[in-house]
Structure formats: C-alpha cells, structure tokens
Amino acid sequence: MQGTDHTMESQTLEIADLTCRFGAHRALDAVSLSVGAGEFVSILGPSGCGKSTLLRSIAGLEAVEGGTIRIGGQSVDGLRPRDRGVAFVFQSYALYPHMSCAENIAAPLRMSELGPLGRLPLLWRLSGRMRRTRESIADRVGATARQLQIEPLLGRRPAALSGGQRQRVALGRALIREPALFLLDEPLANLDAALRNRTRTDLRALQRRIGATTLFVTHDQTEAMAISDRIAVMFDGRIHQVGTPDEIYRDPETLAIARFFSQPHLNVVPAATLRRHIGGATAAGDIRIGGAALEGMAGVVAFRPEDASIRTARRPGLPGLPCTVDHAEHAGHDANLFVRLADGETAVVRIRSHEIADWPQGAEGVLHFDLDAARRFDAPQGEAETPSRAREVA
Ligand SMILES: Nc1ncnc2c1ncn2[C@@H]1O[C@H](COP(=O)(O)OP(=O)(O)OP(=O)(O)O)[C@@H](O)[C@H]1O
Ligand SMILES: [Mg+2]
C-alpha cells in the first residue's frame, strides 16, 4: 500500500465441512463455502446462527472439530492466526485508547516489523535500519488513511472521534497488513442509518479498489443485498443457500430464507386455501404459481406484499382472492394494507400511502398477486392445517 493505491494479491478461500462445537451445541455444522479471489461474500443470518464463529474459525481463533480451510489453495489448518494472512475487524472492535489513530493503524506493522528495541522511544534513532522501517510504516499509515479518508484524524485519540470515524480507523488497522483475506464481523453495526449506508458504499468501493477477498458478516439482508457479489445464508450453524443477491431474493430455497428476505412481511397461504377461494381465471385448472400448476399443489404459497395489489372489483380473466380491509400502516412513500381473506387469514398488500384513504376498515376488495413471482414451499411443520398469517419477522 506504499505511495498510491495498491492492489494486493487476492486469494481464494475454500472451506469444507467445517464443524465447531461448544459443549453439546454445534455452532458450525459441516459448513462448506468457496470464495473466489477478490470476491465480496456476505454471511447473512439471525443472531446466534454461527456467523462470528465461522469467521473466528477461519482466522484460527476458534478450535474446530473437523473440516478444512484453504486460503490461496494452501491449507491453513494448524497454522497460528498470525500466519494465516488474514485481517479481522471484530464485531466489537477495540482501538487502543492511549494511542493516536496513526499509532493504532501502525500497531500491527510495529509488532511484526520492529523488534522490541525498535519500539522503544528514541533508541531506534541509533539504527539506520530501524529508522527506515519506521519511515516505511509511516508512509503506509499515510496511504491507508488516504484510502479511508481519515488523514485529518491521524493525530487524534479514539475518544475524540465519532463512531464512524473509529470504525474507519479499525478498518485501517486491518487493511494496513495487506491481508490476503479480509474478515469483517458486522463492522458497521454501531453506526446510525445514514452513516451506515455511506460507510458500506465506501467500504465496497475500497474493497473493489484493493481487490481483497472479503467475508462480511451481517444480520441485515438489505445491507447484504446492497454490497455483496454473493450471499451465504446461515441458520443454526448451517449454510442454507449461497447465491447472488438477485438469485436469493427471487428464488429463496426455503420458506425461512423467503421470510428473511421479505421483512417485515411475507404472505404465506396454504395452496389448498388458494384453490378453494381463488377465482376469476378463465379456467381455474390452468392457474400456475411460480411456473407450477396450482391444481394438486401441496404445501404453502408465499408472495411478497409488493407483488400483491388490491382492486375494488375483480380484473376480468385474472385470478384473485376476495378480501376485506382491516387496517393500514404508513411506511413513507408506500403503506402496508392488512386485509382478511375468505377463511379469516391475514395478508398484506403494498399500496401507495396516498391510497390509504381509499381503503377504510371493512372495505371489500379483490387481492391479486403476481403468480410468477410467488413461490411454493413445503408447509412449515405444525402449520399445514392452520390459517396463514402475514408474519412479522424479527
Ligand atoms: N465461547 C463460546 N462458548 C459457548 N458457546 C458459544 C461461544 N461462542 C459462541 N457460542 C454459541 O454459539 C452460537 C453461535 O454464536 P456466534 O457468536 O457465532 O453467533 P452470531 O451468528 O455471530 O450471532 P450475532 O449475530 O448475535 O453476533 C451461539 O448459540 C452462541 O451462544
Ligand atoms: Mg456475531
């Protein structure tokens, strides 16, 4: 990273059958994942699903029970953390409070490149070699700070920085080692919404510029979709699906993933209910959902509020479900209209917020939804016979 921007040599990452256990609890259960050189992959999943454990295992900070990790084609199993060529920004990043930002960023290089004597005040002046090393470190701190746009802050201590500025210093401290692999554990979690959006854009631009292979942990699906080349969705210690943001958003493999990518609401209606109440098709037997015939379909059908619409009367030839308006929730430009279907189930329809007045409680309408965007899933256990509900996903 000397002088101007520097492209580091990016490395591939291959994880196979990684298993990690805490007592009886399997935090990682046969996790496999391949990340290409220079690729930005997000690990997305709810709290406690094992995201941090996965990153810590790759970094060598967690003892794994089984499986292999290869970085740049070389096995790192058994290597010490510092020998893995990996830089880690922790979920609760900590800067040294008594050091300036410049010293914080330089800390990993001072540890690895200067001996104990070189770190002592003044003594290093006696040695030309140590002086040159210190100058080279100072150059690299300057270059890293330029990339992160924190040059004016270098002389300050962490206490005199905003959360977002501290976050960048922590990123700088990881970047300066020119890692083959960058592991970021919710590095934006402490930022407010506006700063978080800005920092994530900057982070992705920086990652593209330097080309470092990156694993980025988040539990925010919007964030993952915004910045990732691919997303690995994790639940309960297992990776359930890996794909581009578009692939996972359009074709979630399970209902749990569909719910995770449809916050706050996903409509889930038993296929049998649809068959009973859907009307208006030229020939009901011809209705296809997500490309498959509704006729004889088992399980549930899920569709997003934004793929649904409500009209006062049935559109000729289009299948729709009779419904009654319950209430509306304002969401800025749009609103969520909660309606009741014929069997008493709730569904949510996205409308424009200026249309709320058109849909008072008790109004009757017909709900249409995009049959191609809807997906069929196996019924969740214990829910097959119960009426569907539009779910709040925490
Ligand atoms: N050192 C430990 N000892 C025992 N159990 C642990 C330890 N570390 C993690 N766990 C457990 O392993 C599971 C996975 O934890 P992990 O920290 O990887 O989750 P996470 O996905 O990063 O969650 P979050 O989004 O809340 O950070 C959790 O159930 C957690 O309680
Ligand atoms: Mg975590």
Residues contacting residue 367 through CB under 8 Å, at least 6 positions apart: 308, 309, 310, 320, 321, 322, 323, 339, 341, 347, 349
Ligand 2 center to 103 CA (angstroms): 27
Ligand 1 center to 48 CA (angstroms): 5
Q: Whose CA is nearest to atom 29 of ligand 1?
A: 48
Q: Whose CA is nearest to atom 27 of ligand 1?
A: 47
In this prediction, residues 292-321 reach a mean pLDDT of: 90
Strands (E), the chain: 13-22, 25-35, 40-44, 66-71, 74-75, 86-89, 181-185, 213-218, 230-235, 238-243, 267-270, 288-289, 292-293, 300-303, 308-311, 321-331, 334-341, 346-352, 364-369, 375-377
Q: Whose CA is nearest to atom 1 of ligand 1?
A: 22
pLDDT tens per residue across span 131-156: 888 889 999 999 989 888 889 999 99
Q: Whose CA is nearest to atom 18 of ligand 1?
A: 50
Instruction: Identify the residue with better confidence: 198 or 204.
Output: 204
pLDDT tens per residue across span 312-333: 987 777 889 999 999 999 999 9
The ligand with the least distance to the CA atom of 56 is: 1
Instruction: Identify the residue with better confidence: 51 or 125.
Output: 51
> Domain locations in the chain?
13-259, 266-377
Predicted TM-score (pTM) of the model is 0.84
| Residue 126, pLDDT score | 66
| Residue 1, pLDDT score | 37
| Residue 342, pLDDT score | 84
| Residue 8, pLDDT score | 56
Q: Whose CA is nearest to atom 31 of ligand 1?
A: 48
Domains 13-259 and 266-377 share a fold: no
Ligand 1 center to 378 CA (angstroms): 29
- Architecture label for domain 13-259: 3-Layer(aba) Sandwich (3.40)
Instruction: Identify the residue with better confidence: 315 or 240.
Output: 240
| Residue 281, pLDDT score | 58
The ligand with the least distance to the CA atom of 53 is: 1
Question: DSSP H helical segments within the chain, as ranges?
Answer: 51-59, 101-113, 128-148, 163-175, 193-210, 221-227, 245-250, 255-260, 271-277
Atom of ligand 1 at shortest distance to CA of 54?
A: 18
pLDDT tens per residue across span 242-275: 999 999 999 999 999 999 999 789 999 999 888 8
**Which among 25, 54, 91 is the best mutation to test ligand 1's pocket, defined by most ligand atoms within 8 Å of the CB?**
25
Which of 8-22, 67-81, 163-177, 296-310 has the least mean pLDDT?
A: 163-177
Which of 23-27, 68-72, 99-103, 289-293 has the least mean pLDDT?
A: 289-293
Ligand 2 center to 45 CA (angstroms): 10
pLDDT tens per residue across span 333-370: 999 999 999 888 899 999 999 999 999 999 999 999 99
- Architecture label for domain 266-377: Beta Barrel (2.40)
| Residue 394, pLDDT score | 34
Mean pLDDT of the chain: 87
Atom of ligand 1 at shortest distance to CA of 53?
A: 18
| Residue 278, pLDDT score | 85
| Residue 389, pLDDT score | 44
**Which among 52, 238, 260 is the best mutation to test ligand 1's pocket, defined by most ligand atoms within 8 Å of the CB?**
52
| Residue 263, pLDDT score | 79
Enumerate residues lining ligand 1, CB below 6 A.
Answer: 22, 25, 27, 45, 47-53, 91, 219
Which pLDDT band holds residue 24 (cuts at 50, 70, 90)? very high
Q: Whose CA is nearest to atom 8 of ligand 1?
A: 53
Ligand 1 center to 28 CA (angstroms): 10
